[in-house]
A and B are shown apart, each in its own frame.
Chain A
Amino acid sequence: MPSGRGGERREFVVLVVCLVASVLLFAFGGRLDTAWVIRVETALLWPAEETRRFFEDLTRLRGENRDLKEQVAKLGQERLLLLRAGAENERLRRTLDFAAPRAASVSPARVLAVFGEPWTLSYRISGGSRRGFRVGEAVVAPEGLIGRLSAVGPEESSVSLLSDPAVAVACQVIPGGARGIVRFRAEERPALYLFHVPLTDTVRVGDVVATSGESTLFPEGLPVGFVTRLGRDPNGLVQEIELRPAAPLTRLREVFVVIDSERLGPWQLPSAAEHATARADSARPDTARAASAARAAAGSRP
């Protein structure tokens, strides 16, 4: 540490030298190239600058990633809505194609609620006695018969579906002509069955089963289902004919109550191509789930 007058003088000398140098630089330093100082400084700052940029980019990318994720989620939701709207459009178009030519004989109704476990047993639908609905009337979908009205209120009604073991329908096999009763059997292998068909009658897998003229409740010729499996009844006297419903009972949103069966007219029976489409349709997860649930429930019964 400098001390005394000598030290102080040295300090002042240094200051004076620096000030003189400053003045000289101010006066004559205009010609000096000082750009190298900036270059050195830039080189010195480069690693820190790059590190800062890296973190800035990281932060920006994180924000971008978050925004993109939100967008993807939003687009996914929109896509789902569009798919749903498309499916609804297709369904309503089919429904309209079915209802328009039969406007005088059928009355449309919305499915309000679905009841039944493990398989669907009944619907609650819009419309009741104020629209002229009566207990026992047939309820159909564009694909065919789905059940009948079991209770009618002023504004709402209940439909017992074909999958309700209490519903029985007199039917015939087309084109073979074999007659029997279609009913849901909950035991062992739960499904729709065509009962009382003698072993001598010819029935093939894929044949259409429709309502017969012997039915007092349902008009003749309504498609009920397709033959999916043939077997022999345990008692050995009649056939065991398993059916798949013509209409997708678990997925219907709109149905039609047949209010004037006389004017319903002949029903166009499904073609082989429609049968194939319907079969593929039945392999959809919700049907498969319902079937497996039904099997599980049947297996748990004593």
Chain B
Amino acid sequence: MIKNAVGLFVVWLVAALVARGVFGDLLAIGGVRPDLLALVLVYWSLAAGPVGGTIGGFLIGLIADAELARGLGVQAGLMSIAGFAVGQAGRHLIREHLVLQVAVLGVATLFIGIGRVIALVPFADGGSPLTAVPMLLGSALYTALLGPALYWLLCRIGFPDLLRHVHAEE
């Protein structure tokens, strides 16, 4: 069961990495891109719960840190917290509810984005982290809308409900 869940996590992660690396430019709207790693983390955490979410967040964060080649551990920590929180929230919410997904995704993406900006972006010469807020809000909104839309689409075309699937295995 765990093996299956891990396999599913790897598939989601690889899909997100491929989509981000190959179709990143196509997905951008007005320069705003969705945070696909945050999207995978949120759905994974909703499906797997706090423990799976924390570990998944840690691993995704490590990949993001390795890509950035500095501040190793920052995004791992941020995403661990986000994964834990979303896993906890998923226990008390109707996870299949699209509006709730929008809310959870938006908050989680914003949290990760703000943390990333504060911890990793150097604001020298009088610069302020506030300048990044519009971009973060745009990205969070985009991700929050894209995730439920994809979830709805996959369900509509007969794809097994991923949230229920992993949850049942747990």
Knowing A32-B72, A41-B67, say if A26 contacts B77 (CB, 8 Å).
yes
Bound-complex Cα distance A51 to B87 (A):
36
Knowing A18-B55, A18-B57, A19-B80, say if A25 contacts B50 (CB, 8 Å).
no
Chain A residue at minimum C-beta to C-beta distance from B63: A37
Point out the residues of chain A lying under 8 angstroms from B65, CB to CB.
25, 34
Cβ of A26 and Cβ of B63 under 8 Å apart? no
Cβ of A15 and Cβ of B73 under 8 Å apart? no
Point out the residues of chain A lying under 8 angstroms from B76, CB to CB.
18, 21-22, 25
Most interface-central of B23, B54, B87 (chain A CB within 10 A)? B54
Bound-complex Cα distance A261 to B17 (A):
95
Cβ of A26 and Cβ of B72 under 8 Å apart? yes
Chain A residue at minimum C-beta to C-beta distance from B61: A22
User: Shortest distance in angstroms between B137's beta carbon and chain A's nearest beta carbon?
Assistant: 26
Knowing A34-B69, A52-B22, say if A23 contacts B49 (CB, 8 Å).
no
Bound-complex Cα distance A34 to B58 (A):
15
Cβ of B66 and Cβ of A26 under 8 Å apart? no
Bound-complex Cα distance A38 to B66 (A):
7
- Does more than half of chain B's interface fall in helix, strand or loop, or is it mixed? helix
Cβ of A45 and Cβ of B22 under 8 Å apart? yes
Cβ of A18 and Cβ of B170 under 8 Å apart? no
**Interface range on chain A (Cβ under 8 Å from partner):** 20 to 34
Bound-complex Cα distance A268 to B20 (A):
85
Cβ of B63 and Cβ of A23 under 8 Å apart? no
Bound-complex Cα distance A274 to B56 (A):
94
Cβ of A22 and Cβ of B58 under 8 Å apart? yes
| Chain A contacts with B in 8-51, Cβ cutoff 8 A | 10-11, 14-15, 18-19, 21-27, 29-30, 32, 34-35, 37-38, 41, 44-45, 48-49, 51
Known: A22-B58, A22-B74, A25-B62. 10 other contacts (CB 8 A): A11-B54, A11-B84, A14-B54, A15-B80, A22-B80, A23-B77, A25-B76, A37-B62, A38-B67, A48-B22
Which A residues form the contact surface with B (CB < 8 A)? 1-2, 10-11, 14-15, 18-19, 21-27, 29-30, 32, 34-35, 37-38, 41, 44-45, 48-49, 51-52
Which B residues form the contact surface with A (CB < 8 A)? 14, 17-18, 21-23, 49-51, 54-55, 57-58, 61-63, 65-67, 69, 71-74, 76-77, 80-81, 84, 87-88, 167, 170
A-B contact pairs, 10 of them (CB 8 A): A1-B49, A11-B84, A18-B58, A18-B76, A22-B80, A25-B72, A26-B71, A27-B73, A34-B66, A45-B18
